[in-house]
């Protein structure tokens, strides 16, 4: 059973992009700013928003290790790391940090997006996750 409404008109563009391996973020046709979280109109100028592909690159802002899963289908992933990432486009996403134990993480480390199948969701639903860019 799917717990996420992938067809909801507000977020369908995000999920369609993720399924195709693209990080799609709303972009304002009026003030040319990126909008996150997803809204029906730009929160700065009220302009129309259109989905636009983001670079998928950013920096780590903060993070926390999850030791107790909030949903049963996430239990096999425990422990895992949730984080706030600031994209190069300037918006901040709450996301997962992939393949990290929590050691070696530091604020402002560069991160890059990839996509993984979503635990507990049927079909080809994919979720953007981020990895630390080493070097």
Residue ranges in contact with Zn ion by CB under 5 A: 28, 30-31, 42, 44-45, 47
CB of 89 to Zn ion, least distance (A): 14
Strand-strand pairing, 92-97 and 110-117:
unpaired
CB of 37 to Zn ion, least distance (A): 15
Q: How many CB atoms lie within 10 A of CB 69?
A: 15
Q: What is the DSSP letter of 89?
A: T
Nearer to Zn ion, 32 or 79 (CB): 32
CB of 47 or CB of 110, closer to Zn ion: 47
Q: Smallest gap, in angstroms, from Cβ of residue 33 to Zn ion?
A: 5
Compute CA distances 44 → 8, 11, 20, 73, whole Å. 23, 19, 29, 37
Q: What's CA 118's distance to the chain center, in Å?
A: 12
Of 35 and 95, the one with the shorter C-beta distance to Zn ion is 35
When the beta carbons of 79 and 90 are compared against Zn ion, the nearer one is 90
| DSSP code for 72 | G
Q: Which residues pair with 50 in a beta bridge?
A: 27
Question: Closest separation between CB of residue 10 and Zn ion, Å?
Answer: 17
């Amino acid at each position: 059973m799917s717990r996420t409404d992938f067809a909801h008109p507000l977020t369908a563009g995000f999920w369609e992009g993720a399924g195709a391996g693209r990080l799609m973020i709303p972009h304002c046709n009026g003030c040319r700013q990126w909008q996150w979280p997803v809204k029906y109109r730009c929160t700065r100028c009220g302009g129309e928003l259109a989905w636009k592909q983001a670079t998928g690159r950013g920096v780590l802002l903060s993070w926390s290790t999850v030791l107790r899963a909030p949903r049963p289908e996430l239990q096999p992933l425990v422990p895992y790391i949730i984080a706030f990432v600031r994209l190069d486009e300037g918006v901040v996403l709450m996301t997962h940090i992939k393949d990290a134990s929590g050691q070696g993480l530091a604020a402002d480390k560069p991160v890059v997006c990839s996509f993984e199948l979503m635990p507990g969701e049927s079909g080809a639903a994919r979720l953007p996750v981020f990895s630390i860019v080493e070097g």
